[in-house]
Amino acid sequence: MRHRKSTSRGGPSNVLERGIGRPTPGAGKGVAGATSLITDLPYGPNAAEVARKAVAVALHGAEADLLDDARLITSELATNAFASGSPPLVLCVDRSTPTTGGLEVEITVTDGGCSHPAPSSPPVPEEEAESGRGLVIVGALADAWSLTTGTHGTRAWCRLTREPSPSTAST
């Protein structure tokens, strides 16, 4: 995991990354099919519920374990955006099928920014704490993820990949 400062047009921001970052979808490999869903989320306590439903639509027909992981991650990212950020909240789900099979899903939640910097690593909540596990959960389930915070916008991104099943890989 790396922590680095990043400067953008909006000013300095903090970046927390795990994995290899966010390349252009399908870069360096053939993509048989790709779809994207972009939707505004309500700025309120029901942001997570709306995000979970949107992911279910975007990943219709995906394996149950991938859908479960994606819904949980999206719920955590939307909750964090509402709790720590400002409006607007936007969800983007990119789904692609490499020509080699399998499935790659990228989930991004952005908000209008926050006044406090990203932590250098996900904080470990106290055992009795009722919150604070969101980024720990994302880190455990995602193949790669990043969090970029700034006063003019926050972006939480992750990637989930599933290899082709043996029955579809040999056909």
Question: Which pLDDT band, with edges at 50, 70 and 90, does 109 fall under?
Answer: very high
- Per-residue pLDDT, 116: 62
pTM for the model? 0.73
- For the segment 76-96, what is each residue's pLDDT rounded down to a tens digit? 999 999 998 999 999 999 999
**pLDDT value at 168 more than 70:** no
Average pLDDT of span 153-166: 89
Instruction: Specify if 24 maps to a domain.
Output: no
The more confident residue out of 2 and 89 is 89
Instruction: Specify if 63 maps to a domain.
Output: yes
Instruction: Specify if 107 maps to a domain.
Output: yes
Q: Report percent pLDDT > 90 for the chain.
A: 49
**From 24-28, 53-57, 108-112, the region with the lowest mean pLDDT:** 24-28
Nearest to 2 by CA among 11, 14, 13: 14
Instruction: Specify if 3 maps to a domain.
Output: no
Instruction: List the CATH number of the domain containing 63.
Output: 3.30.565.10
Instruction: Specify if 25 maps to a domain.
Output: no
Question: Rounded to whole angstroms, how far apart are CA atoms 112 and 152?
Answer: 6
The more confident residue out of 142 and 28 is 142
Query: Contacts from 58-67 at CB under 8 Å and sequence distance 24+?
Result: 58/93, 58/95, 59/93, 59/95, 59/105, 62/95, 62/103, 62/105, 63/103, 63/162, 66/103, 66/105, 66/160, 66/162
Residue 154: which domain range? 42-121+131-169
| φ and ψ of 162, to 5 deg | -130, 130
Domain count, the chain: 1
